Amino acid sequence: MAAPGKALQVGDKVPVLRYQDVSGKPGTNTGREDYIIVYSFADRKSSKKLMDVMEEAQLELVRAHPRLKLVFINIADLSALPGALRHLIGPVLEKMNDYAMKKMRRGYEKAGVNLDPRAVELVFIPDWKGEFLRAFGLPDARDFRVFVAVQGEIAGVFDSHTPRMGEKFCRLFDRLADPK
């Protein structure tokens, strides 16, 4: 876990996460040593900008490196929502996630990219209490943040202020895929 007020940086160990995804399925980020895990944090306002950058970057990534095993863990900062609204918001988030997944798969198919569900996993986690934000040392997700981890260690960090983020994100994967 990150020190209070200090976000995880390259070289830091990733905290163990135990979660329920948006559909209620329990999961953890452990036991995936063969995978590169991309953790993204956004709130309602920053998620649009994150998706604008990541849709194209993810497509380029899977096109350039079809053999990489990837997990995309998308964490929505919902800590500002009153607890009484959770039962109303949960089903809406699940429908939004289903729509986004279908849209992404259609985009990949249109681009000629065939996603192997055993090699690419997508997880959407609502962070109702801010616990996942705190684990990564983030006060909130007003500015989106993306962490790339290899074997439990942070290998790259990007945020909404990173110039040419999509390009830098893809270049990181070029280095990770061919670590000469």
Percent helix / strand / coil, the chain, rounded to 5? 35, 25, 40
- What percentage of the chain has pLDDT greater than the value 70? 91
157 in Cβ contact with 147 (< 8 Å): yes
Question: In this predicted structure, what is the pLDDT of residue 162?
Answer: 95
Burial (CB < 10 A; 0-12, 13-18, 19+), residue 154, is buried
- Could you give the CA distance from residue 158 to residue 148 in angstroms, rounded to a whole number? 9
Q: Which two tokens stand for residue 25?
A: 């399925």
The CATH topology of domain 18-121+141-177 is: Glutaredoxin (3.40.30)
- In tens, the pLDDT along 114-171 reads 777 677 888 889 998 999 999 999 999 999 999 999 999 999 999 999 999 999 999 9
Burial (CB < 10 A; 0-12, 13-18, 19+), residue 74, is buried
Q: CA 49, 54, 58 angle in degrees (round to 5)? A: 170
- pTM for the model: 0.89
User: For the residues 2-31, what does the mean pLDDT come to?
Assistant: 88
Domain boundaries, the chain: 18-121+141-177
